[in-house]
A and B are shown apart, each in its own frame.
Chain A
Amino acid sequence: MRYFLLPIFICLIASEGRAQWDIGLEGGAALNTLQTNIANRPQQQLRPGFGLCIQVPLSYTIPFAKDKGAGANFGLSLQTGFMFLQKGYMLDRTDTLQSLNQQNRNSYVQMPLYALFVFNRKSFSFQLGGGIYIGYWVGGHVKGGMPNIFNTALPYPGTYSYSEPYVFDDRRDDRWEDGWALKTRFVAKLQRSTAVFLAAQFFQSITDQQKVYMQQQIPRYNGTWTASVGIQKELPW
């Protein structure tokens, strides 16, 4: 319930302050989980997969309250930007079929929109909030091993190894994705207009990775954590 009250609280105490624009560049790692149900598939299991995260964040921060005694102030930061994000996962076979697996690495271009609460001190600031995002699945890569039914001369299970671009099927693959997101940042100020930061984000898709093309379709969602470091510079606007 407190989370419901927080933005209302922001509205109530909003006051004058010096707003600022920042633009930055950040990079880091992503850990994605494919959320679906394959309990009926024999000797199969899903594992999270790693990927890259590169982002150009743009933020607009408005201070709205100052605690003069503590030398701190509070604010609201609206953040957006473009990001390149790899959402991977592993599909493993178990027991005697361990040589059969597939590493999927799907690349997305995403644009999040956040509202973050800002706790600001002289040399650093801490930001926490949530938002929404929209993404587009620009490409993919699959790597692994599958049983090649014609490899009768090879020892069981006749593994064929591959590493190739993912081929989209327009009948099935829904390349647009949207969902909600959480973000936190710790920003350390270096100079008057430059800062470095650590950021963590979580993206939860609320749209299926597949178009609705069949009845009793089992949906597939991405849940992605990212951790990144970056630098930002205040814009002179």
Chain B
Amino acid sequence: MVKRIPRQIPILTVLIFALLSFGCRKGIQGTLPPDQYPASSFSAVFDAFWSGMNTNYVFWSIDTTNWDRVHDEYAPKFSRLDINNPVHVDSAFSYFRQITNGLIDGHYRLTFTLPQLADSFLQPSAVKRYRVPPLPFSFFSKTITQRYFSRYWWATTPFQSVVAGKPDTLSQGIVAGLIDPQIVYLHLDAFYLSDLLGHRGFEILDTPWNQFLSLLHGNNVKGLILDLRSNPGGLLADLNLVAGQLIDSPLHFADTREKSGNGRLDYTPWAPAIATPQSAVSYSQPIVILTDQNSQSMAEMTTMALKCLPQTWIIRDTTWGATGPLNTDVGLYGGGQFSFAAFGYVYTSSAEYRYRDGKFYEGKGFPPDQYVPVQPAAISTGSDPQLEAAITYLNH
């Protein structure tokens, strides 16, 4: 069969070759690491901060802050500031406060290396979540022990650590005891035990911890009260040390994922967050966890892990809402903490955290099963309505 070539075919061929010749994609321009921007102007400082947040902030999938609008609104404002003018430095601090105010990361803290701002920091969650001051350790070690406990041991010790990129002196306290009839009690005012227990200089912690373990696995125990009120968190390794005493098989309680690229929504797959057992026997008695608004980070994660056990009951108040885990190994994870333009440091979570129920509690806090209101008058007289509610729960 013989056909003539349609006239359209040669024309189409010309078009295709023209497309091949001229149809090219735009170039691929990268971005600088935020710490490599010059600190020569506020424009560069803002660009470094804004770009670093694009890359390193792990909550863009759930945070509703319009980061592009931040750029459009604040880039011109920063460009009008003179980095050598002290008044303008104050203006910049004010802008940073406005920019970060809506971020949901409960750990987020912005500190500055500029001498004028060296003592200043911004912590958006404190503005939103701070309602009452944390209970002092003496409330747990003296006030309530003398009133409610039949036997108790306590210890506290200072130690050095690095927080938000700066060396700091912290403390670790433990209160362990027995409340009649046969209710075991443990209070931790921080989670640094795995770094301190068994180490020279911190032997003081061994006695209350060992007494707690002895009581926990003793006979005729009616239940456990784990008091994590006013606990600001600490080391991830303490999850296994504490929660691991109550389980005899791995406990998958949440999932985490990290940043995998420069885009705000570039993430790794979800990895399981698992508590590893430290005991050959699971704890089958009821567990009551006491939390308050100042229960943060590891205190929240420990609470959430143990809430997966059917016998756990949480009393008092919604926690702080800082569930994203942190690690100081900045190069290992795709996001998290970063310094920008030799001007400031962003302390932020290294991974996004999703609880076993599929929900995110970052910036919201983990709710209790039973809400017991704060009663300052009662606390000032040495009574503890939340502890009493826990005792009542375990006795019924």
Q: Which of A130, A164, A204 sits near B269, CB closer than 8 Å?
A: A164
Q: A38-B261, A180-B23, A218-B28 are in contact. Are A18 and B271 (CB under 8 A)?
A: no
Q: Assess whether B386 is interfacial by the CB under 8 Å rule.
A: no
Q: Which of B224-275 contact A (CB under 8 A)?
A: 236-237, 239-240, 256, 258, 260-266, 268-269, 271-274
Q: Which of B26, B269, B276, B325 sits near A153, CB closer than 8 Å?
A: B276
- Among the interface residues B13, B68, B237, B258, which one has the most CB atoms of the partner chain A within 10 A? B13
A115: shortest Cβ distance to chain B, in Å? 4
Q: Assess whether A155 is interfacial by the CB under 8 Å rule.
A: no
Closest partner residue, chain A, to B336 (CB atom):
A149
Q: Which residues of B contact A7 (CB under 8 A)?
A: 10, 13-14, 16-17
Q: Assess whether B392 is interfacial by the CB under 8 Å rule.
A: no
CA A215 to CA B51, docked complex, whole Å: 10
Q: Assess whether A36 is interfacial by the CB under 8 Å rule.
A: yes
Q: Which of A1-38 contact B (CB under 8 A)?
A: 3-4, 6-8, 10-11, 14-19, 35-38
| Contact B236 A149, beta carbon cutoff 8 Å | yes
Q: Which of B2-49 contact A (CB under 8 A)?
A: 2-5, 9-14, 16-21, 23-26, 28-33
Q: Assess whether B351 is interfacial by the CB under 8 Å rule.
A: yes
| Contact A215 B71, beta carbon cutoff 8 Å | yes
| Contact B30 A218, beta carbon cutoff 8 Å | yes
Q: Which of A3, A19, A35, A78 sits near B17, CB closer than 8 Å?
A: A3
B33: shortest Cβ distance to chain A, in Å? 5
Q: Assess whether A192 is interfacial by the CB under 8 Å rule.
A: no
Q: Assess whether B136 is interfacial by the CB under 8 Å rule.
A: no
Closest partner residue, chain A, to B12 (CB atom):
A115
Q: Which residues of A contact B331 (CB under 8 A)?
A: 42-43, 97
| Contact B265 A213, beta carbon cutoff 8 Å | yes
Q: Which residues of B contact A37 (CB under 8 A)?
A: 28-31
| Contact A206 B273, beta carbon cutoff 8 Å | no
A144: shortest Cβ distance to chain B, in Å? 9
Q: A14-B10, A16-B4, A205-B25 are in contact. Are A214 and B51 (CB under 8 A)?
A: no
Q: Assess whether A191 is interfacial by the CB under 8 Å rule.
A: no
| Contact B261 A115, beta carbon cutoff 8 Å | no
Number of A-B contacts (CB under 8 A): 175
| Contact A76 B271, beta carbon cutoff 8 Å | no
CA A219 to CA B327, docked complex, whole Å: 29
| Contact B16 A132, beta carbon cutoff 8 Å | yes
| Contact B16 A16, beta carbon cutoff 8 Å | no
Q: Which residues of A contact B276 (CB under 8 A)?
A: 153
Q: Assess whether A148 is interfacial by the CB under 8 Å rule.
A: yes
CA A106 to CA B12, docked complex, whole Å: 31
| Contact A150 B29, beta carbon cutoff 8 Å | no
Q: Which residues of B contact A91 (CB under 8 A)?
A: 260
| Contact A8 B9, beta carbon cutoff 8 Å | no
Q: Which residues of B contact A11 (CB under 8 A)?
A: 10-11, 13-14
A86: shortest Cβ distance to chain B, in Å? 19
CA A171 to CA B21, docked complex, whole Å: 32
Q: Which of B86-100 contact A (CB under 8 A)?
A: none
Q: Which residues of B contact A171 (CB under 8 A)?
A: 265
Q: Which residues of B contact A149 (CB under 8 A)?
A: 236, 256, 258, 271, 273, 325, 327, 333, 350-351
Q: Assess whether B54 is interfacial by the CB under 8 Å rule.
A: yes
| Contact A219 B325, beta carbon cutoff 8 Å | no
Q: Which of A19, A132, A213, A216 sits near B31, CB closer than 8 Å?
A: A216
Q: Mark B276-319, 1 if CB is under 8 A from A, else 0.
A: 10000000000000000000000000000000000000000000
| Contact B332 A216, beta carbon cutoff 8 Å | no
Q: Which of A4, A40, A76, A162 sits near B9, CB closer than 8 Å?
A: A76
CA A97 to CA B68, docked complex, whole Å: 33
Q: Which of A123-159 contact B (CB under 8 A)?
A: 130-132, 142, 146-150, 152-153, 157
Closest partner residue, chain B, to A163 (CB atom):
B269
CA A42 to CA B240, docked complex, whole Å: 30
Q: Which residues of A contact B325 (CB under 8 A)?
A: 149-150
CB<8 Å pairs between A and B, sample of 14: A7-B16, A11-B14, A14-B9, A35-B28, A130-B16, A147-B332, A149-B258, A149-B333, A150-B273, A150-B325, A157-B329, A169-B265, A180-B23, A221-B28
A→B interface (CB under 8 Å): 3-4, 6-8, 10-11, 14-19, 35-43, 62, 64, 76, 78, 91, 97, 102, 113, 115, 130-132, 142, 146-150, 152-153, 157, 160, 162, 164, 167, 169, 171-172, 179-180, 182, 204-207, 210, 213-219, 221
Given A149-B236, A152-B239, A214-B67, output 4 extra A-B contacts at Cβ < 8 Å. Answer: A6-B17, A76-B5, A152-B236, A207-B25
